């Protein structure tokens, strides 16, 4: 009985090892040229410039990481028709309540998007840009 337990336990360990190796190989085999995603945390008065690709819909996400302070951010670079899910234009000044997030999906037409954190208090803003097929 002890030999059977050792064999089953050893077989499970080998199976887990091979599954981990397979998943690691799959992760490494994905070409970074196929997917373009950047997640950046901006402290007060820091900025980022992110390049989009033309002809595909990108997702841009911005969130106030603070749970108690208001964040102020300025976005520029998008075509005039691009709007966040709350109806505000992408280009402009955005005041985010604590923990608030806003998302936009659209064709940014290969433009370079700029975001600056102008929060007075020590409030971090998290931004993310995902452009599939870039």
Q: Which CATH class is domain 35-132?
A: mainly beta
C-alpha to C-alpha distance for 6 and 12, rounded to whole angstroms: 10
Q: What is the pLDDT of residue 82?
A: 95
C-alpha to C-alpha distance for 103 and 51, rounded to whole angstroms: 17
Q: What is the pLDDT of residue 4?
A: 46
Task: Say if residue 110's pLDDT is above 50.
Answer: yes
CA distances in angstroms from 31 to 28, 99, 100, 133, listed in the order given: 8, 33, 33, 11
Q: What is the pLDDT of residue 101?
A: 97
Radius of gyration of the chain (CA): 22
> What would the pLDDT profile of 23-80 be if each residue is shown by its tens digit?
555 444 444 444 456 899 999 999 999 988 888 889 999 999 999 999 999 999 999 9
Longest dimension (CA), the chain: 73
**Higher-pLDDT residue of 18, 123:** 123
Nearest CA among 74, 119, 114 for reference residue 92: 74
> What would the pLDDT profile of 86-101 be if each residue is shown by its tens digit?
999 999 999 999 999 9
Q: Is 1 helix (H, G, I), strand (E, B) or coil?
A: coil
For β-strands 71-76 and 112-117, DSSP reports them as antiparallel
Task: Say if residue 124's pLDDT is above 70.
Answer: yes
């Amino acid at each position: 009985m002890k030999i059977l337990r050792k064999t089953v336990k050893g077989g499970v360990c080998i199976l887990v090892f091979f599954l981990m190796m397979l998943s690691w190989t799959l992760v490494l085999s994905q070409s970074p040229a196929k997917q373009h995603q950047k997640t950046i945390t901006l402290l007060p008065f820091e900025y980022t410039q992110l390049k989009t690709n033309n002809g595909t819909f990108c997702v841009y996400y911005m969130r106030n990481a603070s749970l108690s302070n208001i964040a102020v951010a300025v976005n520029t670079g998008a075509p005039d028709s691009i709007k966040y899910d709350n109806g505000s234009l992408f280009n402009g000044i955005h005041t985010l309540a604590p923990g608030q997030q806003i998302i936009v999906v659209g064709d940014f037409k290969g433009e370079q998007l700029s975001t600056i954190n102008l929060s007075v208090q020590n409030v971090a803003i998290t931004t993310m840009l995902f452009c599939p097929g870039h």
